[in-house]
Amino acid sequence: MKKTLSTVGLTLLALLLACAIGWFYADQLLDGVARPQLENLAGTLLDGQVKIGRLQRTEHGVEALDLQVSTPQISAEIPRLIVNFSIASLWHRQLEMILINQPQVQLKLDGKQEPGDASPQQSAPQLPFSVALIQITDGQFDLSASPRTFHFQQLNFSGSLQPRSPFTLSGSVGEDSPDRQSFNIAGELRFSPARTLTLQRVSWQERQILNAPLTVALAEGGMDLKDSRFVLADFDDRQLQELFNALNQPSPLPKGLDFALNKVGIGVSFTDSGAQLELTVDSGQITWNQFNSSFSRLRADLLQTSQGWEMSGQFSGPAQSNIRVNARLDHNKQWSGKARLLIADPGELKEALFGGSPMAFRGGLELATDFSLSGTNLAITTKIQGIPSKEQNNQYLLNLSTMSGELKLSLRDGKESFSLALSQASQPLLRASGTSQKINVAVQAAQLDAIKQLLPPGRIPNQLQEAAAIDLSGEISATKTGWTGQIRIAAKHAVIEGLTLAKLSGRSKLQFNSDRIIFSRISANSDVAYGATLTGKINATAAAEISKSGLILQLDQVAVTDINYNAEDGLSGIGAAAVSVVGSVKGDWPLQTIALDLNGTLSVQEVLAGVFYADLSQYKATFSLQGEENINTAELRARSLKINLPQIAQLTAAGHFKTGKIDAQGQVKFIELKESYNKTIKPLLEGTVTQLEALELSGHTTVDYHVLKQSTGWQVSGATIFKGLNAHWNQEKVAIIDGNGSLPFVIGNGSLPDIPNQPRSSGEMSIQALTFGPATIKQARLKITAEPNRMTLPSSLRLQLADGVLAISDLTMGWDEGQPQGELNINVAGVNLEALTRELGLPVMQGSLSADLGKIRYHNRELSTAGVASIAVFDGHFKISNMRYIQPFTSHPTFSADIDFNAIDLQQATRTFDFGEMNGILDGHIRGLQLYGRTPAAFEASVSTRDSGTRNISVKALNNINILSQGGMSAALSRGIYRFIDFYRYHKIAFDCSLVNDTFTLIGTARPDSKRYLVDGSFLPPRIDITISTPTISFKEMVKRLSRIDRTSGKT
Amino acid sequence: MRTLVRSFSLMLTLAVFSCVTINIYFPAEEMRGAADKIVNEVWGEKTAPGSDSVTPPPASKSPGNSFYQALLPSAAYAAQDINVSTPAIRAIKDSIKERASQLIGLLNSGNVGLSHDGLLKIRTTDGLSLKQKGQLNQLVKAENSDRLRLYKEIAKANNFPDKADEVQSIFASSWRDQAQKGWYLEKADGSWQQR
């Protein structure tokens, strides 16, 4: 193009010279002679055709009208061309003015000729003359560079052709009005000392786009760009778009890509080896769809070498990121190079680039990338290395500081693939590979600590204490709507709140998209253990869906089988228990609260609790639970909990359950007691609670309860409601007939600060009949008051006892210091001893019984009273005091008391007990009596008959006394005259005896001067004395003697 | 002079008598013999025939016989027969004897050991079913209950009811001394050693 312009200039100059010469020869010469010559000359020079419609002289020069130039590359029409000069100016090789009005120039560029092809080493021709003023008005210039054509219109140029030629150029680019862009250029063309073109101002659409003058060197064939630099002011995608629109060119920018650059510096230079381009941008902003990034201090150098192009550059991105790139483009158009990206804050970078919610990471990343691009084949290998963070904030999503790895991306023949390997603290953690359509992922962690180091403190619940050999793997494939695949997880063991899951394995199918994640066909198996005491196996099948609306977990079956628990001390345990659960778990996401709707079964083969052992293999309980669980607080709000124990009872409950805290109430409804107790509960308690073996129950029982448990204590209150209760214990020695009503209870331990007012409740029982041995009451109505660990009968209970009354009042039963306690008042009055002894199956005795036992206490496994029982029998009185019954409910009970008696009619007494008849009145006492069971263990007694009244003793009685005192019958009584005598008179019977330390001592005190006489015979014959041969005998011997006593009735 | 002699004689007499004191002491040796006999009896193999009453060994002579020693406070030891037979003691012994064969089997197997306090202790339940553990618990609990009651009854029968702990301690030695080879004995620190 430059060559063409030069040719046109020379042609015009020749034409002007011809015009000047012909100045003196009139217009005909000018138009007739000079014009054809000029046309030919110009045509030759331009290698085309030049036509001048008319050439005529003007006042200051010549003008050419309808000038047409046609060459293979140029087509120009100039309606009027005025050239002003004078002889003097011509002498000085100077034209005064060239005025070109409304030129229309079309320039066609073939592909072989480019502006840059001109060698910068060629020297430009010297100016043949100078022009003081060159002015082009309203010009039009079409530049055709197939297939595109650039239209310049309204071109106005004002300049000169001198060694220093300042100029201005204005016009517009574009064909149609909307896309036409105006421009203004002011600059200077220098021809010496070097030919340069300096653009001082360039405005585009009235915006200045140059911050500094742009100077380029001019060669003969065009511009010499060696070491040319210019700085653009602001430049953005809109301007670029306008430029391309004006040039009638499609935009080269991808759709959605916006940018804005500030202070763009461009330097171009050429060396022997090729061109060099230097690009600097102070700051900029790029937006592409959701991607948005600012950058600064961009510097890029593009160097043409013999092998191709080499590029190096760097810029600072957002979030203190920095990129360095070194790349090479070879002659095969293959890119290769390295990039190094430093990301100080990946979370901030992500937010800056893609927006969205903030993501915080601990540590930064350094990415070192090797890449190559050949055609459509792309290969990228990136080394990933975490960078420690200076900040110690614990509010982060992931800790990248100790992470390292490698990412490989490959695009070959249109198929992409990648592989990613990440390590945590130099230990392999994650491996992923695949394509954009299918990904394989494997996460391996030798210890939980490797994962804990990735996450902030507390992100892994503290309940998960340990995990080892974690192996998570999966394959996912892209679908039209998201991803699908399956995952597998395995772990050698994991410890949750002390519960160890061993040989853990699970798998699930997986589907997810932006809205939801669906886990289907979940199956999991694990051995479970709690310390060395509890073991079991878990098998679960389920399905789950997680979406914005929450979590839905459908438990097809969760079974814990082979549960065996053995307490460390071996004193309790369960064997072969199993729990099976089905149902659903629903909750919001992230999980805060979950709704539970579960049903299940529970079975236990064996149970051991201390000395209690039961075989429960015949029983299987079912349960259901509806409620909500707060994950954060681990609090369960049970709306309905039902446990059905077949053949025993059904339990319902509702309330709040939390570790160490319970507030629940409900009901236990027993199946008819004849079925539940007699056939189920009692057999289970056999051998453990032996007292219950003699208890038979029937009727209906329901227990309403309220359980409160806090860290400081617990309490269960409520009432047991009986309907038609019949209870018989110990062959009906104790019996309750048709009991109805409620029995309140409040039991607990510790304190409950949240419940300052201790509950007190009352109830009432109506009983058709109540029997305690010989004592009975009918149509009784009992009011019962319950306080913590205490139950009171405020009203008295009057039982009929052998024509008399046994009154019980102020009955209180309680539980304190881990032992049962109680007290009551018993008063017995008017009891007919004959009736009582008959009822009890004892030797029938005449008399009466009364007792004011006062306060009877049961404390520390001992029953005691300060009261006194009085028995009027055998015309005398017995007074029993200091009664204590130690450990009455054990196999070794001991009873102790003091007994005083007086005025006992021996005849009645000996008849009653078939000891052998005696007459007389007896007084005495027994002190410190201790009965071990029914066996005397110790006592001290003193007995003597009164010295008045009839005093006879039968032979049988004599023999029995003799047996006790000497161990054998007296043969003398069956010989001689004695064998005809049945009764003997005696003066006194008296003795002291004691049982101490298993030694029985008997001292006869019938005679004041001796310790040998048990029986002091009368003065009148036949006289019989009984003396003691050995006062001290062993207890064993005493028992032998007692066994030899003749108790046959009918004989005296 | 006579007054002086009288006074000296009186002081000497007072000194001699003041050195004679009566100590009511706990008859440990006698109790040890009684305990040995009971243990022997309930475990069945070394039961000695004869009376239930254990004759105590001769009271040890008061050490020394020199005049100087005669001036020292001496003890008039109350020779005491240890009563090991009352109805309660007999019943408890019978109860212990009745379950002895079962317990000896468990002692032989090592499931049960002799604790250092005169009771039995479950050493291990390895190899036992829950049912067997339940039976073991019952046996040990009943045995220990009987033993504690036995110690109290022996103390009470011998008029030192507040010395049940010492009786228990002596019995602990007897149980351990007569343990068979292979049985486990608990040491004071709670560890076990096999005899």
Identify the top-confidence range among A56-70, A552-566, A1031-1045, B15-29: A552-566
pLDDT score at B6: 56
Q: Mean pLDDT in chain B?
A: 74
Summary count for chain B: helices (H), strands (E): 7, 6
Q: What is the pLDDT of residues A509-550, one digit of tens each?
A: 999 887 889 999 999 999 999 887 889 999 999 999 988 888
Using CA atoms, how far residue A870 sits from A5, A852, A900, in Å, is 154, 8, 10
Q: What is the pLDDT of residues A181-240, one digit of tens each?
A: 888 999 998 877 777 888 888 888 787 777 778 777 776 555 555 566 677 777 888 877
Return the structure tokens found at A470.
């974690």
Return the structure tokens found at A14.
């020749």
In angstroms, how far is the first alpha carbon of chain B from the final one? Answer: 73
Helices B87-98 and B28-43 cross at an angle (nearest 10°) of 40
To probe the interface with B, which of A891, A895, A995, A1033 has the most B CB atoms within 10 Å?
Answer: A891
A686 touching B (Cβ < 8 Å): no
| Cis geometry, peptide bond prior to residue A1022 (ω within 30 degrees of 0) | yes
Give the residue numbers in B contacting A (CB under 8 Å), as ranges: 52-53, 83, 85-88, 91-92, 95, 122, 124-125, 128-131, 133-138, 141, 145-146, 149, 157-158
pLDDT score at A169: 93
Indicate the range of A497-501, A565-569, A596-600, A687-691 predicted with least confidence.
A687-691
Q: Which residues contact B145 (CB under 8 A, 6 or more apart)?
A: A890
Q: Which residues contact A73 (CB under 8 A, 6 or more apart)?
A: A1, A4, A107, A108, A109, A110
In percent, the amount of chain A with pLDDT more than 90 equals 30
Return the structure tokens found at A1026.
């009984």
Buried b (16+ CB within 10 A) or exposed e, B113-142: bbbbbbbbbbbebeebebeebbbbbbbbeb
Residue B19: pLDDT over 60: no
Buried b (16+ CB within 10 A) or exposed e, A659-675: eeebbbbbbbbbbbbee
Per CB-CB distance under 8 Å, the chain B contacts of A891 are 95
Q: Do A937 and B86 touch (CB under 8 A)?
A: yes
Spatial distance between the Cα atoms of B72 and A647, rounded to a whole number of angstroms? 80
Contact between A407 and A382 under an 8 Å Cβ cutoff? The reply is yes
Give the confidence band of A5 by pLDDT, cuts at 50, 70, 90. Answer: low
Residue among A307, A310, A312, A303 nearest A275 (CA) = A303
Indicate the range of A266-280, A753-767, A812-826, B41-55 predicted with least confidence.
B41-55
Q: Closest partner residue to A570 among B53, B91, B133, by Cβ?
A: B133
A606 touching B (Cβ < 8 Å): yes
Spatial distance between the Cα atoms of A506 and A539, rounded to a whole number of angstroms? 10
| Cis geometry, peptide bond prior to residue B63 (ω within 30 degrees of 0) | no
In percent, the amount of chain A with pLDDT more than 70 equals 91
Helices B100-109 and B28-43 cross at an angle (nearest 10°) of 90
Q: Mean pLDDT in chain A?
A: 84
Spatial distance between the Cα atoms of A574 and A604, rounded to a whole number of angstroms? 7
What is the distance in angstroms between the Cα of B87 and the nearest Cα belonging to chain A? 6
Return the structure tokens found at A698.
């029937």
Per CB-CB distance under 8 Å, the chain A contacts of B91 are 892, 932-933, 935
Q: Closest partner residue to A613 among B122, B134, B146, by Cβ?
A: B134
Q: Do A566 and B134 touch (CB under 8 A)?
A: no
Buried b (16+ CB within 10 A) or exposed e, B167-191: bbbbbbebbbebbeeebbbbeeeee
Contact between A915 and A922 under an 8 Å Cβ cutoff? The reply is no
Q: What is the DSSP string of A392-445?
A: -----SEE-TTEEEEEEEEEETTEEEEEEEEEETTEEEEEEEE-SSEEEEEEEE
Helices (H), A740-894: 833-840
Contact between A542 and A554 under an 8 Å Cβ cutoff? The reply is yes
What's phi and psi for B91, nearest 5 deg? -65, -40
Q: How confident is the model over A749-767, as a mean pLDDT? A: 81
Q: Do A997 and B83 touch (CB under 8 A)?
A: yes
Half-sphere exposure of A307 (CA within 13 A, CB side): 9
Q: What is the pLDDT of residues A705-749, one digit of tens each?
A: 999 998 888 899 999 999 999 999 877 778 999 999 999 999 888
Spatial distance between the Cα atoms of A230 and A213, rounded to a whole number of angstroms? 7
Spatial distance between the Cα atoms of A831 and A787, rounded to a whole number of angstroms? 35
Q: Closest partner residue to A894 among B88, B137, B146, by Cβ?
A: B88
Return the structure tokens found at B189.
């620190």
Residue A457: pLDDT over 60: yes
Spatial distance between the Cα atoms of B176 and B194, rounded to a whole number of angstroms? 11
Return the structure tokens found at A599.
């049903």
Residue among A632, A541, A652, A624 nearest A590 (CA) = A632
Indicate the range of A536-540, A600-604, A861-865 predicted with least confidence.
A861-865
Residue B131: pLDDT over 90: no
Q: How confident is the model over A804-820, as a mean pLDDT? A: 87
Residue B156 burial (10 A CB sphere; 0-12, 13-18, 19+):
buried
Model pTM above 0.90:
no
Residue A1019 burial (10 A CB sphere; 0-12, 13-18, 19+):
exposed
**pLDDT, greater one: A544 or A891:** A544
Reduce the DSSP state of residue A955 to 3 states and report it: helix
Contact between A898 and A927 under an 8 Å Cβ cutoff? The reply is yes
Q: Do A611 and B130 touch (CB under 8 A)?
A: no
What's phi and psi for A781, nearest 5 deg? -130, 120
Indicate the range of A115-119, A290-294, A734-738, A1020-1024 predicted with least confidence.
A115-119
A613 touching B (Cβ < 8 Å): yes
Judge if ipTM > 0.95.
Answer: no
Residue A709 burial (10 A CB sphere; 0-12, 13-18, 19+):
buried
Indicate the range of A178-187, A435-444, A626-635, A778-787 predicted with least confidence.
A178-187
Chain B contacts in chain A segment 1012-1041 (CB below 8 A): 1034-1036
Spatial distance between the Cα atoms of B82 and B64, rounded to a whole number of angstroms? 27
| Cis geometry, peptide bond prior to residue A590 (ω within 30 degrees of 0) | yes
pLDDT score at B2: 52
pLDDT score at A212: 74
Return the structure tokens found at A549.
């609306």
pLDDT score at B143: 93
Per CB-CB distance under 8 Å, the chain B contacts of A608 are 130-131, 133-134, 137
Q: What share of chain A is helix, strand, coil (3-state, %, to 5)?
A: 15, 60, 25
Q: What is the pLDDT of residues A302-355, one digit of tens each?
A: 888 888 888 999 999 888 889 999 998 888 878 899 999 999 888 888 888 777
pLDDT score at B8: 53
Q: Do A933 and B85 touch (CB under 8 A)?
A: no
Indicate the range of A247-251, A418-422, A426-430 predicted with least confidence.
A247-251
Considering all CA atoms of chain A, what is the largest pairwise distance in Å, rounded to the nearest integer?
217
Return the structure tokens found at B41.
């009896």
Q: Do B137 and A894 touch (CB under 8 A)?
A: no
Spatial distance between the Cα atoms of A40 and A49, rounded to a whole number of angstroms? 8
Spatial distance between the Cα atoms of A264 and A287, rounded to a whole number of angstroms? 18
Contact between B157 and B82 under an 8 Å Cβ cutoff? The reply is no
Per CB-CB distance under 8 Å, the chain B contacts of A610 are 137, 141
What's phi and psi for A486, nearest 5 deg? -145, 150
Residue A866 per-residue DSSP state: S
Q: What is the pLDDT of residues A549-568, one digit of tens each?
A: 888 999 999 999 999 988 88
Per CB-CB distance under 8 Å, the chain A contacts of B87 are 932-933, 935-937, 998, 1035
Return the structure tokens found at A105.
């120039």
**What ranges make up the beta strands (E) of B83-172?**
112-114, 120-122
